[in-house]
Structure 1
Amino acid sequence: MRVRWLGWAGVELESQGESLVIDLLGRPEGVLEGTPLSAPLPEVTPPLTEGRVLAGLCTHLHRDHTDAGALARALRPGGTVLHPESFGGDDHENLWTLQAEAELTAHGLPRRPMGLWQTTKIGPFTIAAVPAVDTLGDPQVSWAVEAGGKRVIHLGDSMFHGYWWRAARRFGPFDAVLTPINGPTVCFPHCQPPSPYPASLDAEHAAVAARLLQARTVVPIHYDGFHLEGFYTTRPRELDRFLDAAAGEPYTVLTPKLGEDLTL
């Protein structure tokens, strides 16, 4: 299996001449339109197999992880979008998922909502929706993918939780764990009072989560991206802090350049 980091949380997986994308982002400037942006946007690159991708996997329906336009360009005709099942609720609860939902519908992309622990097979890939925890309470999964005898898991921007051991038992050990490391704190109008705890895995949490998942290698993702002062606050030196936290762990950390191939 070949793994390519496409920027932010975007990843391309290729095996036996077929490919998947996970959390593809193609136009980051559109994600935060109308917000008081105070830092550079993440650099992204399109998948190498653009136009021929079998399926697009979305860990959750926030627009920096579900980019309908990028998915429409990437997928082959009839290609499918997989995402977590809805929790229901009113528009206030679903404020951050409504726009991504509408954009997927507007692009007419075939969609397959996946329940927790549900598995499916697409081409050479066996795909499982592993429980994950979203800081806003929106549906989120991690995607465990196996192909060609190799196993990877993509953690989206999950917080720390207690499903690591079950995931490792059912679908691991993992040849590669793709983990967020930026650990922002967030304060959004529809989720008040705010939490002071990391909204996704920070350096220290990610280092431990990868160990519990029995990772052989770890690829940090979801860093050097958004910073919205007062809304989405990150700390400096995100990658350096993760490398420090992972020092002495039993896995190898790989930090590919944008679009660079890693062969498992």
Structure 2
Amino acid sequence: MASRPIPTARRLRIGVELRRLRERAGMTAVEAARSLGTTQAQISNIEANRFGVSADRVFTLAQIYGCTDFPLVDALAAMAADRTRGWWEEYRETLPSRLLDLAELEHHAMALRVTQVINVPGLLQTPEHSRALFREAVPALRPHEIEYRISHRIKRQAILHRDQPPPYTAIVHEAALRMQFGGRDVARAQLRHLAEISEHPAISLCVIPFDGTSFPTTGHAVDYFHGPVAALDTVEIDTAHGSELVDAAGQLDKYRLVLDRMAAVALKPAPSRDLVHCIAQDI
């Protein structure tokens, strides 16, 4: 028997949101099953995404739960109806699933906002810069694992070159621009690439300079993916023990505020680009 495909974070989100709708309605899984004419086990399986759910089933459950947030329901139904397999699935056997989730979230995002303190954001990295970073990974990666990650990262960058790319805002601390990963030549080439790509109309590069008066973050890298509706936004936090996805309403509110405050203390795109050019000349 063929094994069931591993559900991605985006598909798991459908079940999470259906559970939240049920809980907001004050219904137990038993009550929901009775209204749907099925079993509690089926409701639990839907919410845990142990098997897929159709768009029609999403609409039916939303009606049972009395949900009147029609844009949210429509967005969930569209997610349920989308059965396409993205290019990232070719890496299913070679890369951690969280990297595949990252590519899928980027692919479907309406807009992206990222923050970095030490590294240049992945979507703006050159292959040589990426290779230098992956060589320092803990635990160490084997050469072929490094090449898989570089290939995957380059393919992720394609979203910035679509006919209608999502707006992409990168808030980067000056420290990330002055790190010389891979040596001076690699660092200089990375900065020149950063200055060039920041001219793209869909990309906003904003640098927090060393002489800034505040720094409203703990220093973790943050990727914020704007969904079709705000309730379906997702945040990825990159930590030393790995990445973590968060999507609770309170968490989303927190990271929106963090990003807004970081943007407020960062330079605007034009002076940020000037700073990148100056640092490239200093290296």
Whether the TM-score (by the shorter chain) exceeds 0.5 is no
Which one has a larger percent strand, Structure 1 or Structure 2? 1
- TM-score, normalised on structure 1? 0.31
Which one has a larger percent helix, Structure 1 or Structure 2? 2
- TM-score, normalised on structure 2? 0.29
